[in-house]
Chain A
Amino acid sequence: MSASKAARSDLLNDGRIWKGRVDKVNAELVVLTYGTIVAQLCKDFDSDYLQVNKQLDKMGYNIGLRLIEDYLAKSNTMRRCSNFRETADMLAKVGFKIFLNITPMVTNWTSDNKQFSLVFEENPLADFVELPDDGRAQDELWYSNIFCGVLRGALEMVQMQVEAHFISDVLRGNDTTEMRVSLIRYIDDELPPEDD
Chain B
Amino acid sequence: MPVQVYSLYIFDRHTECIYSKQWFQPAAPAPSALPSTASDQHRPANGTDPAITAVEQPPPAKPRRNKGGDDAKLIFGTVFSLRNMVRKLGGDDDAFISFRTAQYKLHYYETPTNLRFALLTEPGALSMRNVLHQIYINLWVEYVVKNPLSPVEHKGGEGVRNEMFELGLDKFIRGLM
Q: Assess the B171–A9 pair: CB atoms within 8 A.
A: yes
B133 CB contacts on chain A under 8 angstroms: 78
Q: CB < 8 Å: which of A11, A159, A191 contacts B138? A: A11
A158 at the interface (CB under 8 A from B): yes
Chain A 63-83, CB-CB to B under 8 Å as 1, else 0, gives 001101110110000111010
Total A-B pairs in contact (CB under 8 Å)? 75
Number of residues from A at the complex interface, CB < 8 A: 31
A109 at the interface (CB under 8 A from B): no
The complex places the Cα of A29 from the Cα of B85 at a distance, in Å, of: 49
Q: Assess the B111–A72 pair: CB atoms within 8 A.
A: yes
State the majority secondary structure of interface residues on B.
helix
Chain A 127-144, CB-CB to B under 8 Å as 1, else 0, gives 000000000000000000
B138 CB contacts on chain A under 8 angstroms: 8, 11-12, 18, 73
B73 CB contacts on chain A under 8 angstroms: 192, 195
B171 CB contacts on chain A under 8 angstroms: 9, 12-13
Q: Assess the A9–B112 pair: CB atoms within 8 A.
A: no
Contact residues of A between 1 and 43, Cβ < 8 Å to B: 5, 8-9, 11-13, 15, 17-19
A39 to chain B, nearest CB (A): 22
Number of residues from B at the complex interface, CB < 8 A: 32
Q: CB < 8 Å: which of A70, A158, A190 contacts B145? A: A70
A62 CB contacts on chain B under 8 angstroms: 152
Which residue on chain B has the smallest CB distance to residue A13?
B175
A193 at the interface (CB under 8 A from B): yes
Q: CB < 8 Å: which of A13, A158, A193 contacts B113? A: A158
B175 CB contacts on chain A under 8 angstroms: 12-13, 15
Q: Assess the A72–B15 pair: CB atoms within 8 A.
A: no
A78 CB contacts on chain B under 8 angstroms: 111-112, 133
A46 at the interface (CB under 8 A from B): no
